[in-house]
Structure 1
Amino acid sequence: MGVDKKTAIIEAAFQLFEEKGFALTTIDEIAKASGMTKPSFYKYFPGKEDLLLEVIEIFAEELEEKVQRLYRKVDLSKSDRIIELSMIYLEDIFKYHTYLDFFLDPSQHFFENERIQNAVMTVERKVFTWLEDSIADLYGEQMDGFVVDVSFIALSVMFVYTRVSGPNLSFDHNRKLAVYIEYLVGLVVEGLKFKKPEMPLLFETPSWVMNCWPEDVTPVMRSRQLQRVYRRMELTIKNHVSLSESEKKDYLQAIAQIKTESKDSLEQNVIIKALLYYLEQLDELRDECEQLRLIFEPEASSSQN
């Protein structure tokens, strides 16, 4: 019962923050919209800032889940990945009017709340790192130290554009901006090919960017790991001299099924566990199966060690 009421408060806050922004939404309004009294509200949240903190944390979790799902789309091109990443960010920024108000207007009093400030900056750092990884993944050695600068330019364009255009852009308009960002990144990279010797760096590996992934595993890195393991397994099967064509087909279908099952979540469900058990019966695939387990559930694996 208590969980339901807390959820009702959060959902009401989402709606009101989206409509009015954080500053103009009162606790009385949130309580009324969630079907309870103001004293009942305080049973779950000491104040509006505590509620905002939870809203930001939910926003961050949803954002990360969408990005993780994006990087599991193995058929998506690297340039389209930048567009889709920009779309996720743009649509979620506009969805959570609270977050937009907070980040674009740091003069508001709750910016002094260290917990809220840290929560927001964590989101920003992760978004920066996701974009940086995607750009580096697409252009590789051409970046040669400029990837942080290029990422900064791309995100700056999105920030300024969202600030001047307001939170009511259509899906098509957001898509147009996302495509523009990907095209702009390409132009900047092309320009740097010719201007690198004279071009100064804005950022030389700023610590606030590079230290935001304590687990040292970004979505791009995890996606690369998965694809490398899949390719090794498929090549092992195709080149195996002792397997019949029928057996090879069965093993390859098992790998394809794992790819399908892992598109929505990296947690090992019953099907993935069974398929990995089946695949590791072939001695040559045991190491790869263990690597997949580590990639799928790194926290669970590390806790067992």
Structure 2
Amino acid sequence: MKKITSDDIIFAALSLFSEKGYDATSVDEIARESGMVKASFYKYFQSKEELLLGTIALIEKLLNKDAKELNLKHQLPAREKLRQLYLIALGRIYKNRIHLLVYSVPLIGSKEEKIAHAIDRLEHNLSSLMVDFLIDAYGESIHDYAYDIVFVVKSMIINSFRMSDSELSSTEHQTLAEFIVSITDMLAQGMLSPDVQHQIMWGLDSGLYEDSDHIWTKGRQIAYVLQHMDAVLKQIELDEAIQNEHMQILSRLQGELSEQNVETAHVKALLLFLEQLPALQEDCKKLKAILEI
């Protein structure tokens, strides 16, 4: 009898996640799909969240392996390599709906933040690979526009899967990849035209494509802390008047932090009020550290 490995469990989970979604898939179902009992599952992963982190890590590993092998196929034209990279992305990431998992996980704890961070890194890694292959296909002059093209390509892929009533077949993957390459050709040709000045939306220095070491941006960190504070206020038992007052102050804090020019004094005053509630002290401390105030 074949020994079950952690990768076997991951692939079983991926099948269930893509079919039912992360939230609707139980550890019991994952264990059964893997050919084991629930108790055995915990010998490999301590929780479903840890399994998901392992899943994302494996997909990133396979993505990099596929891309490396594709790069070594020197006989292939650069445009064909780009098409095959799109196919790899379709099969490794979007088919499994990995890009959507972050929105289905309740992001209120450190484990969930790790999941969101891991998915961000995977998407960032894919974007970087696409940019490299775009430059190979269209030359170094496409570099300034490459991130805009990647944004359009990813949007097309996501919408194709979202609009499909059923899982796309291998033939449909091939057709979609060729279609996307055709659109990429048109975008590249238009952007490189000397007759038209194009607005760059997603440059290398934009928040969407920060260096991988800094991808967990301040804005994202702030958003998750505020989300956690909102969840805490809704869960703990407070006098209704006190709860409403704290919710209003939190709303004002969210509004203040969404402004382009943040008034530090106002933020400090709002945090000073909120941190009087013991349940919010840790989150207030996190916000001060993120904002460096």
Distance in 1 between the 2:199 and 2:211 partners?
A: 23
Q: Which residue of 2 aligns with 1:274?
A: none
Q: Which residue of 2 aligns with 1:109?
A: 106
Contact 1:129 1:210 in 2 (8 A): no
Q: Which residue of 2 aligns with 1:48?
A: 48
3-state secondary structure, aligned to 2:212? coil
TM-score between both structures, scaled by the size of structure 1? 0.61
User: CA 1:34/1:78 → structure 2, altered by over 3 Å: closer, same or farther?
Assistant: closer
- Deviation larger for 148-157 or 108-117: 108-117
Q: Which residue of 2 aligns with 1:233?
A: none
Q: Which residue of 1 aligns with 2:65?
A: 65
* 1:94 Cα deviation after fit: 4.9
Distance in 1 between the 2:94 and 2:199 partners?
A: 34
Equivalenced residues, count: 210
Q: Which residue of 2 aligns with 1:247?
A: none
Q: Which residue of 2 aligns with 1:160?
A: 159
Q: Which residue of 1 aligns with 2:179?
A: 180
Distance in 2 between the 1:23 and 1:125 partners?
A: 24
User: For structure 2, which runs of at least 5 residues remain unmatched after alignment?
Assistant: 215-293
| Aligned residue type for 2:49 | E
* 1:111 Cα deviation after fit: 8.2
Distance in 1 between the 2:11 and 2:198 partners?
A: 48
Q: Which residue of 1 aligns with 2:125?
A: 126
Q: Which residue of 1 aligns with 2:136?
A: 137
* 1:95 Cα deviation after fit: 4.5
Distance in 1 between the 2:143 and 2:60 partners?
A: 30
* 1:184 Cα deviation after fit: 0.8
CA RMSD of aligned residues (A): 2.8
| Aligned residue type for 2:198 | M
User: CA 1:178/1:55 → structure 2, altered by over 3 Å: closer, same or farther?
Assistant: same
Q: Which residue of 2 aligns with 1:93?
A: 93
Per-residue CA deviations over 1:61-118 (Å, capped at 9, x if unaligned) read: 1111111111110001011111000011112235424x15415xx1542586111111
User: CA 1:166/1:53 → structure 2, altered by over 3 Å: closer, same or farther?
Assistant: farther
User: CA 1:118/1:11 → structure 2, altered by over 3 Å: closer, same or farther?
Assistant: same
Distance in 2 between the 1:20 and 1:44 partners?
A: 22
3-state secondary structure, aligned to 1:43? coil
User: CA 1:213/1:76 → structure 2, altered by over 3 Å: closer, same or farther?
Assistant: farther
Contact 2:131 2:143 in 1 (8 A): no
TM-score between both structures, scaled by the size of structure 2? 0.63
Contact 2:153 2:180 in 1 (8 A): yes
Distance in 2 between the 1:176 and 1:165 partners?
A: 14
* 1:41 Cα deviation after fit: 2.5
* 1:124 Cα deviation after fit: 0.5
* 1:143 Cα deviation after fit: 2.2
Q: Which residue of 1 aligns with 2:150?
A: 151
Distance in 2 between the 1:94 and 1:151 partners?
A: 14
